[in-house]
Structure 1
Amino acid sequence: MWGKKKHGIMALLLTAVMLTGAACGGGDGSGGGGGNAAKEANGADKGGSSSGALKKVTFWHAMGGTNQKVVEQMVTDFNASQKNVQVEAIYQGTYDDLLSKLKASMGSKDSPTLVQMYEIGSRFMMDSKTTTQMQKFIDMDKYDLSQLEPNIVSYYTHSGKLDSMPFNTSNAILYCNKDLFKAAGLDPEKPPKTFDELQKSADAITKTGKASGANFAIYGWFMEQLLANQGAEYVNNSNGRSALATESTVNGDAGIKTLTWWKNLVDSKAAINLGRKTDDSKKAFSAGQVGMILESTASLKGLVDSAQGKFEVGTGFLPKPSDGKEGGVIVGGASLWIMNDRPDDEQKAAWDFVKYLASPKVQAYWHINTGYFPITKAAYEDQTVKDNMKKFPQFQTAVDQLHQTKSNSATQGAVIGVFPEARQIVEGAIEEVINNKKSPKEALDGASKEITSKIQQYNKTVKQ
């Protein structure tokens, strides 16, 4: 039976881990589209007998605002497309709120069937032993994973098995104010690709007196992306993928080089520091106060819309050192996990809904209305997506960056159970450097030591 309760370890994990991180930003969107019909659910109940009763699937998610309406529409469309499964989507607040409620529901009749979990909660979900690996359903159905984007699937794949299905997916790109580029004598069609080029471009914009050259929110996700873009790992043991991670490696050469560059941008007035809130960075960009920012691809439509009538938005790949090793971007966002304390037929019904969400037409609708990547390659052939790409050509940068990323342990992303804490520790280290309290090496050595300690404490609670 798949639906076994395995909660012994969960009590330890829940007291050992504090998940306090923020997730990648979501984009707003508008547009229309429908969904494909889901395949019929033909599972057996816990007793092994067939059941023709309607199967209810409770889906907990953290998509608020406009994105919540999109999720609810997809659920409505799925429910109307067949007569075997009824999905109820329940918004649970932020990712952290959702996780807290998930903890409280474990072992009770109130637990969900399907849950959305942000990407940095993956190791925790795996170690909790409370989920049914998505690979079981894939193998059962002979589901063709090759139809999905490989660089997205690879993040949620461990030891050759897919643990959860990607859902909302984004990565980080460089946003540029083309008008400020022109005013500074820069080519707006050639955004900077390297650290040095970005420094020169930012200097030129600042010297016009019209705006500051750049601002990067002090967000740990950006540091993770900048490291991966240099082929650098965040923790040891192949980013925690060949074996349980035991040490942080954020204080390696790539980390020191990145933080030194970041500090020099601020010290030279080429960039300004607006703190940790990405919303503050986006507001400054939309107001024409800074020439460049780093931000999630999921924010693209909102940023383009907010600049309408004021300036033209350009996009570029994430910058890297001119001598940086081959790397790429890590996907952000969240994935879908099926909980193993629900009856087998209920889990199979949840799988039918997951397949529906991954279908090309539904992915096209999801992408257009939220700004997240389609996880299904065929979605790009949908006419609605083609039309949307013409309307927002800046998104092609995001697609090209994803497709040009080489899948390796660095770009697959780190897998650690204390990732939210680690992210905040790194943010603290960046602040120490920007505020002239520590050198890049001192700050990252301290961060690495603290993260390593938390990883080792966490590992003691995990039964392998």
Structure 2
Amino acid sequence: MRKSSKFGFLALLLLSLFALVACTNSDSSSSEKDGNEGETEKEVVTTEEGKTVISFWHAMSGAGQTSLDAIVADFNASQDKYEVQAEFQGSYEESLTKLRSVGGTKDAPAITQVFEVGTKYMIDSGFIEPIQNFIDKDKYDLSQLEENILNYYTVDDQLYSMPFNSSTPVMLYNKDAFKAAGLDPEKAPETFSEVIDAAAKLKTDDMKGFSMLTYGWFFEELVATQGGLYVNEENGRAGDATEATFNGPEGLNAFNFLDTMNKAGTFGNFGTNWDDIRAAFQSGKVAMYMDSSAGVKGIIDNAPFEVGAAYIPYADEVKRNGVVIGGASLWMSKGIAEAEQEAAWEFMKYLTTPEIQARWHLETGYFAINPSAYEEQNVKDAWEVTPQLKVTVDQLQSTEPSIATQGALISVFPESRQQIVTALENLYQGMDAQEALDAAAEGTNRAIEIANKTK
């Protein structure tokens, strides 16, 4: 997952634009098809060699952008029919805001990368052509892709977008600190109570025992791994959700887990910035924390001590259910030329090949959406050197498919996550756990109500 400081503002912007999107999208599509108001069909752009050119809007920066640009270049060189132009559009939120101005029209990019919590919005928007249409037409074998990744993006038995950069949370820990505290460095704590006990033993004058970024995604995962749902209507997958359910027993277990350590002085609160919590871990200010699987390799390469990787913790009274996929997927635009859609589909298929997915996994830390990639020799060699990477894959593949681990669908997820951030901050300042959760649920309910009314 990637961080964003703009969730609150852009979520409010999203709500204010829902009515406009709902009213204008179908009009622009019909105008385009019927040629109303003098509109003419946009010509397909081709290269001098006759290749169909398509735009691919993405939000990858840093190592992700470097890897993606190279993969796009290799695709363009691998055949003589299509040319993909990868265009960085800023953060996930910024890219989605730009898409709203052209979505559903002939001026939309052929492919847009959208973060996982934008799934419900994209389905409702009318901007997109479900990938399932191309899967069925091409008889593409979906069984070759990772089931627990496909589950998130499958709604009503349709795959709406192609998974791409996929990640889950993982617990990282300082093996040297474990040894110093008399704990087994090869056996990480698994349950909430075990983490609480280990945090107490790991705490020193300079080091806290455990930490978690003040970010809604991690809370969602702690609820899901207990089998809890985030919203009603079967996590928003049986119909439009109308209210939050994360303030039930599972959410309270997670808040009490954090509250116990916070009151005991064994919890380190390093705020909402990913860089800050990672720096705290690498500098020995905290012994255990939760991170994204995509960040594991970077932490291992930069920490001055041996890093352990483990599954995220779960409540003692339940069984572990697993994790919900995070990251983003690729959406195909509706309203563009058929030749552009064909080019987009061919590029998406190229991205799912084992060779490309192996490369993407090793260069970025994201999961391979095609698990055959893990059989590639370069991946096997890398896992020998960095076995922690395999732990993240094992956690994903051992996840029990269910409504809980499939993930929730609501169009106002960014705003709901901000509600959780506020609730966590209030918890750490002494507010009652249930009271803090209930306030977050009420804020989420208001946002859902507005979104449903303006849909």
TM score, norm. by length of structure 2: 0.89
Match of 1:447 in 2: 440
1:288 aligns with 2:322: no
> Alpha-carbon deviations, 1:372-419, whole Å to 9, x = none?
000001101100111111121011211111011001110010000000
* Alpha carbons 2:15, 2:450 under 8 Å: kept: no
What is the 5 A alignment of 1:283-322?
283-307=279-303, 310-322=304-316
Residues 215 and 272 of structure 1 are in contact (CA less than 8 Å); yes or no, is this contact kept in structure 2?
A: yes
Secondary structure at the counterpart of residue 208 of structure 2: coil
Q: Which residue of 2 aligns with 1:412?
A: 406
Q: Residue 252 of structure 2 is aligned with which of 241, 246, 256?
A: 256
In structure 2, the residue matched to 1:135 is: 132
Confirm or deny: 8 A CA contact 1:239 1:409 kept in the other structure.
Answer: yes
Q: 2:18 corresponds to which residue?
A: 16
The CA distance in 1 between the partners of 2:165 and 2:138, in whole Å, is 23
Residues 166-188 of structure 1: CA deviation (Å, up to 9, x unaligned): 00000001000000000000000
Check the 8 A contact 2:104/2:127 in 1, yes or no.
no
Measure how far apart 1:210 and its partner are. 4.9
Aligned-partner Cα distance in 1 for 2:69–2:274: 27
Matching of residues 187-226 of structure 1 within 5 Å: 187-206=184-203, 208-226=204-222
Counterpart amino acid of 1:319?
A: P
**In the alignment, what sits opposite 1:393?**
387
Contact 1:17 1:417 in 2 (8 A): no
Deviation at 1:325, TM superposition (A): 4.3
Check whether the contact 1:219–1:278 (CA below 8 A) recurs between aligned residues: no
**Could you tell which deviates more after superposition, 273-282 or 336-345?**
273-282
CA apart distance, 1:110 = 3.8
Match of 2:144 among 128, 142, 147: 147
Q: Which of 254, 261, 264 lines up with 1:265 in the alignment?
A: 261
Instruction: State yes or no: 1:329 paired with 2:318.
Output: no
Contact kept, 8 Å, 1:46 with 1:344, in 2: the verdict is: no
* Corresponding residue SS for 1:384: helix
For residue 332 of structure 2, what is the aligned residue in structure 1? 338
Which of 346, 350, 353 aligns to 2:347? It is 353
* 1:244 equivalenced with 2:240 (yes/no): yes
Structure 2 counterpart of 1:115, from 112, 117, 124: 112
Residue 102 of structure 1 corresponds to which residue in structure 2? 99
Q: Which residue of 2 aligns with 1:159?
A: 156
Q: 1:387 and 1:57 mapped to 2: Cα distance?
A: 36
Moved more, 318-327 or 446-455: 318-327
Q: Are 1:422 and 1:451, in contact at CA under 8 Å, matched by a contact in 2?
A: yes
Compare the two structures and name the one with the higher helix fraction: 2
User: CA separation in 2, counterparts of 1:99 and 1:160?
Assistant: 25
Deviations 1:275-311 (A, max 9, x none): 111221111001111100100000001100111xx21
Correspondences of 1:359-370 after superposition (within 5 Å): 359-370=353-364
Q: Distance in 1 between matches of 2:307 and 2:389?
A: 11
Cα distance in 2 between the residues matched to 1:140 and 1:392: 40
Shift in Å, 1:102? 1.0
Classify 1:235/1:99 alpha carbon distance in 2 versus 1 (closer, same or farther; 3 Å): same
The CA distance in 2 between the partners of 1:248 and 1:141, in whole Å, is 39
* Structure 1 gap segments, 5+ residues each: 1-10, 19-44
**CA deviation profile, 1:416-436 (whole Å, cap 9, x unmatched):** 000000001011011111111
Looking at structure 1, the residues matched to 358 and 171 of structure 2 have their Cα atoms a distance apart, in angstroms, of 24
Q: Secondary structure at the match of 1:275?
A: coil
Shift in Å at residue 153 of structure 1? 0.4
Please say if residues 104 and 126 of structure 2, whose CA atoms lie closer than 8 Å, have aligned partners that are also in contact.
no
Counterpart CA distance in 2 for 1:194 and 1:265 is 14
Q: How many residues align?
A: 418
Which of residues 400, 403, 409 in structure 1 aligns to 2:397?
A: 403
3-state SS in 2 of match to 1:71? helix
The separation in 2 between residues aligned to 1:292 and 1:276, in whole angstroms, is: 17
**Inter-CA distance 96–233: structure 2 relative to 1 (3 Å threshold):** same
Q: CA deviation at 1:109?
A: 5.2
Distance 1:442 1:347 in 2: 49
| Compared CA separation, residues 88 and 358, structure 1 to 2 (3 A) | same
AA aligned to 1:261 is: F
SS of alignment partner, residue 444 of structure 1: helix
Structure 1 window deviating more from structure 2 (415-424 vs 392-401): it is 392-401
SS of the aligned residue for 2:211 comes to coil
Does the aligned pair in 2 maintain the 1:227–1:234 contact within 8 Å?
Answer: yes
Per-residue CA distance 1:220-247 (angstroms, 9 max, x = gap): 0000000001000000011001111111
Aligned to 2:417: 423
Please list every run of at least 4 consecutive aligned residues from structure 1 whose deviation after the TM superposition is greater than 3 angstroms: 11-14, 106-110
| Aligned twin of 2:3 | none
- CA–CA distance in 2 between the matches of 1:264 and 1:395? 30
Q: CA deviation at 1:17?
A: 8.7
Residue 28 of structure 2 is matched in structure 1 by: none
Q: Indicate the residue corresponding to 1:376 in structure 2.
A: 370
- SS of residue in 1 equivalent to 2:285: coil
- The DSSP-based 3-state class of the residue aligned with 2:234 is helix
How big is each residue's C-alpha offset from its partner over 1:44-93, in whole Å with a ceiling of 9 and x where there is no partner?
x999xxxx942111000000012111111000000000000010000011
RMSD: 1.9
Contact preservation (8 Å) 2:170, 2:292:
yes
Change (3 A) 1:139 1:458: same
In structure 2, the residue matched to 1:27 is none
Larger RCO of the pair (alpha carbons < 8 Å, separation 6+): 1
Query: Do 1:214 and 1:290's aligned partners in 2 also have CA atoms closer than 8 Å?
Result: yes
C-alpha contact 1:256 1:444 (8 A) present in aligned 2: yes
